[in-house]
Structure 1
Amino acid sequence: MPASYRRPPRFAVGCALAAIAAVLASPAWADPAPSFAELLARLDQTPATTEAGALLDAAEARARQARVRPNPTLALDAENAFGSGPFSGYGNAETTLSITQDLELWGRRTARINAARADAGTASLRRDLAVVDAAGRLALVYADAEAAERRATLAEENLSLTLADARAALVLVEEGREPLLRGIQGESEAAAARAGLDEAIAERDAAFARLTAVAMLAEPVTTIDVSLLDLAPATALSPTDQTPTVRVAEAERSAAESRIAVERTRSRPDVSASVGLRRYEAEDATALTFGLSLPLPLFDRNGGNIEAAQADFRAADARLMTARQEAQADRAAAQARLRASVSRVNAADAGVTSAEEAYRLSRIGFEAGRISQLELRATRTALVNARTAAVDARLARVRAEIDLARQDGRAPFQGAQ
């Protein structure tokens, strides 16, 4: 047998022990992330909510502008001046100073104001929906970062357990109670556990970087002290028709209906009234002038725009029907997923307790020589899987709470707003 197969794996196991010791003994600097509640309080500083707030400000400004009446037109006209014959020069000129005002008949101003108000109401609801979506994204990124941190911790624990089992197997190999193959297998398992730890650390760092960016933190996050995965979901309920998506769809439908009225008023003549003062130079006299003007609706009656507004209304009405149907289905699904995730968390916690006890008994039996290394490896793998499943179950519970919170129109893990 070649020498490489006869040597004990003590050197490789020792190197792995040194590697994990270096990881655990690294400088203890950490910049913990603010709690989810603290980040939620600063949600209005995120780009998504800032954009939605700016769009709302613009819509409210347009609503204020819609109330303003059109400016009057001031005109100065001169006739019969600087011509020929008796009209040479300015002696027989007629000068008129007039002011013209659009009367906005046929409810034109009211329709314009109502349409602008409807658009502002829609923008307000979209802002609320953007805040809810931003809160959900923040909760998901926060939970992903915490789950990645826990997985990295589990990977460290797995490496520690694997090395401990490898040391125990090495002792049995040296005592002749186990074949040399068991020591080589322990060395391979330690190397795989070390690679798993490196991968988990990389995923944790990436998740921390995403949390730092989404939360707009000045300093990079290196740890999470306040848990979100362990929080109990909120139990706030709201009617299906009160979900943010349905409210936005209803507002869009109302805005589309108000635009039909605007286009119909534009099909009617735009009447303007004028009053002025005319100066007769030849008679050295003045007189008032009055007038009304309106376009003749011979060619353009705004028919195309009216039909387009009516089509937009039908589309908005169809979107509202779809939103109501989807809201009902999505809410029922979110409630079902949340109930299932709560049960899954309880089952996972019970599984971790059982797996820990099974591994403890297997380790005692292995050291006493009553249990083989394969059985010990199986119980250790079951323990690692149970702990990972507990993290995954909590993350699934957070995702279910985020989905239900969006249907309720609130931030995750918060009461109804």
Structure 2
Amino acid sequence: MNSLKRRLPLVAAGCVLAVAAWDVGPARADPAPAYETLLQRIGQTPARQEAQALLEAAEARLHQAGVRPNPELAVRADGVLGGKPYAGWGEAEISLDVTQNLELGGRRGARIDVARAEAGISALRRDLTDAETVARLALTYAEAEAAERRFALAEEALALALADARAAMALVEEGREPLLRGIQAETEAAAARISTEEARAERDAAFARLTAVAMLPTPVTSVGDGLLDRTSPTFPDSGETSLTVRVAEAEAETAARRIRREQIEARPNVSASVGVTRYQAEDATALTFGVSMPLPLFDRNRGNIDAARAEHRAAEARVTGARMAEAAERSAALARLRVSANRVAVGDMGVTSAEEAYRLSRLGFEAGRISQLELRSTRSALIAARDAAVEARLARVRAEVDLARLQGRAPFEGGR
């Protein structure tokens, strides 16, 4: 009995320390901006600004592709500074020529076609970047909210463990339970405290990620109007091609246009020149005309043509792969979204049942009708059910994010 009396204050002291540590926490600040508010700031993200800059560069190259080549100006002096009768400038023939590359055979048009197709790819990639940025924001927002809820649940689990420990100590003092039960309760409370600290760390890390992704000026410390409780809006699956496939298709079309450009480059490039020549000896001036073109004896651009054809085959293979992947992802996202709704409903029912089971177990434990082991089991089941309910809601958000990305819309657009 003396040993029991010495041990009980230690158990009580441990619980008091756990309560004190549990009550101490950082002051909460204002919640993060609403999800819809953050969507309006997508254009400020570095990824969006990079994609927009690349689009502007492609549009500038398209403009440059339509510019004709500059003419060449040449001045030539023949028959000067040599032996007699060309010792001076008396017998000189001075010519002034202007040469223009005619770009015959559709060279300019092919160059413009390729540049226009590349600008179209850049525009699609910008849209794809927007979609991926929105999806990342929605998922990060939901993960931060889930981490906050898990921390709150860990605090509740700690409170339940402390309450059970106090009830166990009361039974020990009354002699209805051995001292071992009190020690076990103290150990469970300490484990619950560790779980709470781990949940706090996960919450803070999730808040830090949300602060970075949303580019917020001050760190996020809580999430207000979140996404976990929102129902996914009903959008009919029109089967519209996703942005990923459209980018692959545009790349294949651009590769085909590059083949035509390289084939045209293999044709001789004609240049025309016009000029004037001054004949010093005769004190006369005459016009000169000329046409020049390379002889395709060695370079017929075969290597570039073959490379362009190989790149086109690779692009076509990427299109096939993207279409197959999109079909699989679309079916999987629709299936996950349907299942997630049932999973959330079942999870909520499980929480309700677990709460009632724990309440009855607690009453039975205090009345001495059930053991501490049974109480611990129902408490663990309650904690697991609450965690499963949060995970079910996060899974629903992930499914909605995946489906929205494939349908080319923002997640939870028009849904509450």
TM-score (normalised: structure 2):
0.95
Moved more, 75-84 or 186-195: 75-84
Contact 2:256 2:309 in 1 (8 A): yes
Task: Give the Å deviation of 1:123.
Answer: 1.1
Measured in 2, the distance between the counterparts of 1:138 and 1:176 equals 57
Find the counterpart in structure 1 of residue 316 from structure 2: 317
Determine if the alignment matches structure 1 residue 179 to structure 2 residue 178.
Answer: yes
Instruction: From the superposition, tell whether residues 268 and 359 of structure 1 become closer, same or farther in structure 2 (CA, over 3 Å).
Output: same
Task: Give the Å deviation of 1:406.
Answer: 1.6
Measured in 1, the distance between the counterparts of 2:13 and 2:153 equals 21
* 3-state SS in 1 of match to 2:285: strand
Contact 1:271 1:292 in 2 (8 A): yes
* Structure 2 gap segments, 5+ residues each: none
CA deviations 1:14-61 (Å, max 9, x no partner) are: 443343344435453424222222222111222222222221111111
Contact 1:240 1:327 in 2 (8 A): no
Measured in 2, the distance between the counterparts of 1:382 and 1:211 equals 31
Instruction: From the superposition, tell whether residues 386 and 109 of structure 1 become closer, same or farther in structure 2 (CA, over 3 Å).
Output: same
Measured in 2, the distance between the counterparts of 1:80 and 1:27 equals 94
Counterpart residue identity of residue 299, structure 1? F
Instruction: From the superposition, tell whether residues 399 and 102 of structure 1 become closer, same or farther in structure 2 (CA, over 3 Å).
Output: same
Contact 2:104 2:270 in 1 (8 A): yes
Contact 1:235 1:415 in 2 (8 A): no
Find the counterpart in structure 2 of residue 394 from structure 1: 393
Measured in 1, the distance between the counterparts of 2:351 and 2:260 equals 65
CA deviations 1:234-281 (Å, max 9, x no partner) are: 333454451111101110010000000110010000100111111122
Task: Give the Å deviation of 1:316.
Answer: 0.8
Find the counterpart in structure 2 of residue 107 from structure 1: 106
Output aligned runs, 1:213-232, within 5 Å.
213-232=212-231
Measured in 2, the distance between the counterparts of 1:2 and 1:126 equals 77
Instruction: From the superposition, tell whether residues 175 and 12 of structure 1 become closer, same or farther in structure 2 (CA, over 3 Å).
Output: closer
Find the counterpart in structure 2 of residue 24 from structure 1: 23
Counterpart residue identity of residue 377, structure 1? R
Measured in 1, the distance between the counterparts of 2:152 and 2:188 equals 18
Measured in 1, the distance between the counterparts of 2:32 and 2:177 equals 48
Moved more, 345-354 or 46-55: 46-55
Task: Give the Å deviation of 1:12.
Answer: 3.3
Give the ranges of 4+ consecutive aligned residues of structure 1 lying more than 3 Å apart after TM superposition: 5-23, 237-241
Give the percent of matched residue pairs that are identical in Structure 1 and Structure 2. Answer: 62
Instruction: From the superposition, tell whether residues 85 and 277 of structure 1 become closer, same or farther in structure 2 (CA, over 3 Å).
Output: same
Measured in 1, the distance between the counterparts of 2:16 and 2:32 equals 31
Contact 1:100 1:273 in 2 (8 A): yes
CA deviations 1:131-165 (Å, max 9, x no partner) are: 11111112222211111111111111000011011
Measured in 2, the distance between the counterparts of 1:15 and 1:410 equals 53
Task: Give the Å deviation of 1:369.
Answer: 2.6
Instruction: From the superposition, tell whether residues 11 and 2 of structure 1 become closer, same or farther in structure 2 (CA, over 3 Å).
Output: closer
* Structure 1 gap segments, 5+ residues each: none
Contact 2:141 2:226 in 1 (8 A): no
Find the counterpart in structure 1 of residue 135 from structure 2: 136
Find the counterpart in structure 2 of residue 352 from structure 1: 351
Measured in 2, the distance between the counterparts of 1:369 and 1:2 equals 24
Find the counterpart in structure 1 of residue 191 from structure 2: 192
CA deviations 1:201-228 (Å, max 9, x no partner) are: 1111111112112222221111111211
* 3-state SS in 1 of match to 2:50: helix
Output aligned runs, 1:88-103, within 5 Å.
88-103=87-102
Moved more, 125-134 or 260-269: 125-134
Counterpart residue identity of residue 309, structure 1? A
* 3-state SS in 1 of match to 2:85: helix
Find the counterpart in structure 2 of residue 56 from structure 1: 55
* 3-state SS in 1 of match to 2:27: coil
Measured in 1, the distance between the counterparts of 2:106 and 2:401 equals 46
Measured in 1, the distance between the counterparts of 2:38 and 2:280 equals 77
**Alpha carbon RMSD of aligned pairs, Å?**
1.9
Task: Give the Å deviation of 1:7.
Answer: 3.4
Output aligned runs, 1:305-384, within 5 Å.
305-384=304-383
Contact 2:150 2:390 in 1 (8 A): yes
Contact 1:43 1:135 in 2 (8 A): yes
Contact 2:18 2:190 in 1 (8 A): no
Find the counterpart in structure 1 of residue 46 from structure 2: 47
Find the counterpart in structure 1 of residue 120 from structure 2: 121
* 3-state SS in 2 of match to 1:123: helix
Task: Give the Å deviation of 1:73.
Answer: 0.6
Measured in 1, the distance between the counterparts of 2:44 and 2:11 equals 52
Measured in 2, the distance between the counterparts of 1:314 and 1:346 equals 49
* 3-state SS in 2 of match to 1:96: strand
Task: Give the Å deviation of 1:318.
Answer: 1.3
Counterpart residue identity of residue 363, structure 1? R
Counterpart residue identity of residue 40, structure 2? A
Contact 1:173 1:182 in 2 (8 A): yes
Counterpart residue identity of residue 379, structure 1? T
Task: Give the Å deviation of 1:2.
Answer: 9.5
TM-score (normalised: structure 1):
0.95
